[in-house]
Amino acid sequence: MQAVLGDVRNHNEMQDARFWDAWWDDCISKGEAGRFMFPMLEAPLVKHAGGYYDVANSNALRMDVMAQFGLRKILCAGSGISQEPRALAQAGFDVTALDLSPKALAVASAFEPRADDRLPFCGGVQRPGGQLNFVVGSILDLTVCPGPFDVIIERRTISRFREQDRSTALQALAERLGKVGIFLSHCNDSYRKSEKRFHASEAWFREQNWAIWDGVPNSTLAGRVAWLVRSAA
């Protein structure tokens, strides 16, 4: 998982699969795998179309928006052992989970929910036609999962790159997004310990003239938009 915690921002470590394999081995040996398989993060509620949503955790809102605009193909970048890609596939989407760590994806793919399990990402929605593929590789390598995808989801991955490397990683993911699509970028509010709510990648999106969906989707999707999500650490 390129996405995680701690203060891992060394460029070499961010691109070292062996480092992340060892990190996941340590995490699993400590019994901490569950909180990364099903990460539920504290985030503010927003109102959209008459309902309230936890924007960090609510795939239900994203599913509604995707259905509205006919979006189906999703890239979960730096997904680690999270079961969000599986839940989205069970909800009928074509999902690719991309991560640098073979260990993380082996754990993620080996997880077998019981027949009656409803994974806590999509409100338990199960629809036919979904697909799930696990791909080991770097988000910086454009030959891996080249797309185009309708939706890209990165959760606390880009914000862990060094600031001078972040634009390269964002551009690499943006290259994989179709001409009409959603780039969902998720970071922790407390990344810089600021009192003001901000998103670690917002400046880049604005410099590139992306339309910004800041927590709540707009009513139209005419091109590519950045859906910026914040949560507490």
Residue 85: per-residue pLDDT: 93
pLDDT surpasses 50 at 152: yes
Return mean pLDDT, the chain: 83
pLDDT digits (tens, 9 = 90+) for 160-185: 888 888 999 999 999 999 999 999 99
Residues 6+ apart with CB under 8 A from 74: 85, 88, 93, 94, 95, 96, 149, 150, 151, 152, 153
Q: Average pLDDT in the 64-74 region?
A: 91
Q: Any residues with CB less than 8 A from the CB of 64 and at least 6 apart, and which?
A: 49
Domains of the chain: 11-231 (3.40.50.150)
DSSP tag of 158: G
Give the span between the Cα atoms of 225 and 181, in whole angstroms: 6
For residue range 31-45, list pLDDT tens digits in order: 988 888 877 666 666
Residue 153 phi/psi, 5-degree rounding, is: -120, 120
Give the H/E segment covering residue 53: strand 51-54
Residues near 164 by Cβ (< 8 Å), separated by ≥ 6?
none
Between the CA atoms of 12, 145, 76 and 171, what dihedral angle is there, to the nearest 10 degrees? 60
State the pLDDT at residue 61: 81
Contacts of 4 (CB under 8 A, 6+ apart): 23, 36, 80, 156, 160
